[in-house]
Every structure is written in C-alpha cells, then in structure tokens.
Amino acid sequence: MSAKRYLVDTNVLLRFLSGQPATQAAAARKLFSRAAAGEIVLDVSPVIVAEAIYTLISFYGVERKVAAEKLSVLLRQHGVKLRDSSQVLSALERLQAVNVGFADAFLAAGAHEDEVEIVSFDRDFEKLNAARYEPTV
C-alpha cells in the first residue's frame, strides 16, 4: 500500500520554518516527521515555493539567501515530492547567490536545463548568466 499523498499549502511551509504560531508549527513539524518516516508524501508545487520565498522575505523579514537555503533543505527531506524539483532547487541555489526574484531564478534555471533563451525585456537575467532574447520592433 502506498503512502497517502497531500498537496502542501504555503502556510504549512511557513509555520514549519517560522515556528509561529507555536501550535501550528508543532503540527507542521509532526507532518514533516511523518513524511520522513514514509507514512505520507507531501507534494509541493513551484507556485507554493514562490509564495513561501516571497512571504519569508517580505513578511517575516528573512534574508533572501537564508530563506532560499532553509526552503531548499526542507524541500530535500525524505517524503517531500517537489514538482519540477531540479528546476526549483536550481532556482533556490541561484537566489542564494544573486538578488533577483524567485520567478526570474526559476525561469533562468529552466532555460539552463532546456538549453533555450529567455525572451524578456528584463536585464536581471544577465545577473543569472541566462541567455536572453529581447524582442524589438
């Protein structure tokens, strides 16, 4: 029998990482312990990671590098199924090195994986060493 799978909402990640409120943080820790033990699978999408990074930085005041590092460690735990995992984890690594948003880091990671250019007017991709095409008239 396979482990029951749950789609994880952003607030579960935030409670686990922030420790607040204490009761919900304890419940989130227990949930991740159950996943680590193989009892359940926690399924996390890239959109949830993006919201978590944004909230950790903007609401909780966590440094971008620290937020990316903490999320990366959490998402690599046994029992966590991270959708588009290589692209998400690569984006989190990029966030630890370069001051850009998660969406840009995620796009740059995908472009690198797929060996394609990004079409954008945003020059931030140069910081990420991502090939960029800027459309013209």
pLDDT at 1 over 90: no
* Structural domain contains residue 106: no
* Structural domain contains residue 127: no
> How far apart are alpha carbons 7 and 113 in whole angstroms?
25
Cβ atoms of 13 and 74 within 8 Å: the answer is yes
Tens-place pLDDT, residues 65-76: 999 999 999 999
Sign of the CA dihedral running 40, 46, 47, 53: positive
Mean pLDDT calculated for residue range 10-15: 98
* Structural domain contains residue 38: yes
pTM recorded for the entire structure: 0.94
Q: What percent of the chain has pLDDT over 90?
A: 98
pLDDT at 17 over 80: yes
* Structural domain contains residue 134: no
b/e 38-65 (16+ beta carbons within 10 angstroms → b): eebbbebbbebbbbbbebbbeeeebebe
The token pair that represents 33 in the structure block: 């312990």
* Structural domain contains residue 41: yes
Question: What pLDDT does 86 receive?
Answer: 97
Tens-place pLDDT, residues 20-64: 999 999 999 999 999 999 999 999 999 999 999 999 999 999 999
Q: What are phi and psi of 43, to 5 degrees?
A: -100, 120
- What one-character DSSP code corresponds to residue 115? T
* Structural domain contains residue 130: no
Average pLDDT score, the chain: 97
Cβ atoms of 38 and 78 within 8 Å: the answer is yes
Which one-letter amino acid corresponds to residue 1? M
* Structural domain contains residue 12: yes
Looking at the chain, which runs of residues are DSSP E strands? 4-7, 40-44, 80-82, 118-119, 132-133
Q: What percent of the chain has pLDDT over 70?
A: 99
* Structural domain contains residue 129: no
- Residue 56: which domain range? 4-98
| Domain total of the chain | 1
Question: What pLDDT does 2 receive?
Answer: 85
